[in-house]
Chains A and B, each alone.
Chain A
Amino acid sequence: MATTTRRRSVELPEHPDFLWTARVTPKKVYDVIIIGGGGHGLSTAYYLAKNHGITNIAVLEKGWLAGGNMARNTTVIRSNYLWDESAGIYEHSLKLWENLEEEVGYEMFFSQRGVMSLAHSVSDLRAKARNYHANKINDIDSEWLTPEQVKEIAPIVNINPDVRYPVLGATFQPRGGIAKHDWVAWGYAKAAADMGVDIIQGCEVTGFDIRDGKVHGVKTNLGPIAAQKVGMVAAGHSSVLANLAGFDIPIQSRPLQALVSELLEQVHNTVIMSGMVHVYVSQAHKGELVMGAGTDAFNSYAQRGGFHVIEHQLAAAIELFPIFERAHLLRTWGGIVDISPDASPIIGHTPVENLFINTGWGTGGFKATPASGWTMAHTIATGEPHELNAPFSLNRFVTGHLIDEHGAAGVAH
């Protein structure tokens, strides 16, 4: 363990200098190639090794490990989605989270501090009540809160009825919470590498070796690599990869911004989201207020958005949390999210044999990191989707069996 004289936050332990052995040059042949070394790519590799015994795997990352949306999200974890299909996969994910640190043997600061979703109008109340009852039917923990109960759990919320968007009620999932995103990626990477997975950074896929409708490998900036099966787990860049493989996917890539304040005393010990006023807020272990907003309207690959979106989000935050008024904005950033038409992911087959896709998590993929990898690994290993991801096929946009989560996803997906 490295020694340091820097003053450290009480909650953060030191971690070793090297968690896994970095491989610079890929091997010529692998059983499975995973394109994308973010959270979902790493968890896919981990579960392929752990659940299915496939360890001859390369995870190819064009940038650096977990430097895309895994480094840019607001780490909200919950499973209180509306539809049965979503409840199934997100609740499986939450159950995996609950045991994950122990399983991979690495601290992830998973904190079940609860996630609250505020309602501000009569129609909002009705939608939230519907969601609350749907969660109850699916055995997902969910509570209904009056404004006074909101105030009891989160004293800093303004429940004055005399504001533009008063708090009229809320749903609350006590098992929801947050985790430290980079530690999650490191935990999965270390555990996967320990089982023999190669993690290769700075390796960009530039094409596919497809013959007779079947994938045989990929072309990269480090030369061709052969593989029996290939999984694309590339979030905002999924369309670029799909087009290289010769097919279209119903994905639009948009900027999603987030921000943090300076470090403050702990004042906010839960997660609060409001779809209607477009903001969600938690407070990180170190003390920053972490906030996210909606996406910018237009397609982009630039990893930045407009400042007016941040202004809009902060105006909403200050009305709900008057004590934030004098907090200083420390940093804003953007990531490129993969938006699908029904705000639900796509995990499964592609028109190319042995080429699988995992995309469309849009603004809410972090919470699904474990289940996304779990179901993707099952799909790659067995050639058939797991029952949890079978409804999330690419083909649903032809059959019409959409899983419309725009309501439950809202802004704070």
Chain B
Amino acid sequence: MLHIPCPYCGPRDETEFHYGAGANIFYPDPASATDEEWSKFVFIRENPKGWHAERWVHSAGCRRWFNVWRNTITHEFGPTYKPFTEQPKRPV
């Protein structure tokens, strides 16, 4: 089970959270977006082998969303960051 660092509550068990997949996905301009751009926004998510910026919600805790870097090979957590704040650098 993952031990997830909630930036509001501290580290808690994975069963208190729900996963929100990739972070920092921005809504395209509806007036000008092409079918390809909509497809990218709706369906394409990064799927890296290594560090991944992703969203979690602490649904059985503070019920707030946050972003975090996590390594998809080791399951190690990197820095967390709150929504609409600057994304920390990808850990090495």
8 more contacts with CB within 8 A, not counting A306-B1, A307-B1, A397-B42, are: A240-B47, A248-B44, A252-B47, A299-B52, A299-B72, A341-B42, A397-B39, A397-B43
* A301 contact set on B, CB distance < 8 A: 49, 72-73
Tell yes or no: B85 within 8 A of A by CB.
Answer: no
- By size class, the interface of chain B is 20 to 34
Count of chain A to chain B residue pairs whose CB atoms are closer than 8 Å in the complex: 56
* A323 contact set on B, CB distance < 8 A: none
Give the docked Cα–Cα distance between A398 and B38 (Å).
Answer: 8
Give the docked Cα–Cα distance between A293 and B92 (Å).
Answer: 33
Residues of B participating in the A interface, judged by any CB pair closer than 8 Å:
1-2, 14-15, 18-19, 21, 35-36, 39-40, 42-45, 47-49, 52, 54, 70, 72-75
Is the CB–CB distance between B73 and A302 below 8 Å? yes
Is the CB–CB distance between B45 and A252 below 8 Å? yes
Is the CB–CB distance between B47 and A308 below 8 Å? no
Give the docked Cα–Cα distance between A237 and B50 (Å).
Answer: 12
**Minimum C-beta distance from A396 to chain B (A):** 9
Give the docked Cα–Cα distance between A341 and B35 (Å).
Answer: 17
Tell yes or no: A300 within 8 A of B by CB.
Answer: yes
Is the CB–CB distance between B39 and A299 below 8 Å? no
B35 partner, pick from A237, A239, A398, beta carbons under 8 A: A398
Most buried by A among B1, B21, B54, B73: B1
Is the CB–CB distance between B72 and A302 below 8 Å? yes
Q: Which residue of A lies closest to B45 (CB)?
A: A252
Tell yes or no: A253 within 8 A of B by CB.
Answer: yes
Give the docked Cα–Cα distance between A341 and B47 (Å).
Answer: 13
5 tightest A-B CB contacts, nearest first: A239-B47, A250-B43, A297-B19, A398-B39, A306-B1
> In chain A, residues 259-304, which have Cβ atoms closer than 8 Å to a Cβ of chain B?
297-302
Q: Mark interface residues in A373-413 (1 if CB within 8 Å of B CB, else 0).
A: 00000000000000000000000011100000000000000
| Chain B interface mostly | mixed
* A298 contact set on B, CB distance < 8 A: 2, 19, 54, 70
Is the CB–CB distance between B1 and A308 below 8 Å? yes
Is the CB–CB distance between B47 and A299 below 8 Å? yes
Could you list 11 examples of A-B contacts with CB < 8 Å? A240-B47, A240-B49, A248-B40, A250-B45, A252-B47, A298-B19, A298-B54, A299-B72, A300-B75, A302-B75, A306-B1
Tell yes or no: A251 within 8 A of B by CB.
Answer: yes
Give the docked Cα–Cα distance between A149 and B21 (Å).
Answer: 42
* B1 contact set on A, CB distance < 8 A: 306-308
> In chain A, residues 297-334, which have Cβ atoms closer than 8 Å to a Cβ of chain B?
297-302, 306-308
B14 partner, pick from A248, A308, A398, beta carbons under 8 A: A308
* B48 contact set on A, CB distance < 8 A: 239
* A398 contact set on B, CB distance < 8 A: 35-36, 39
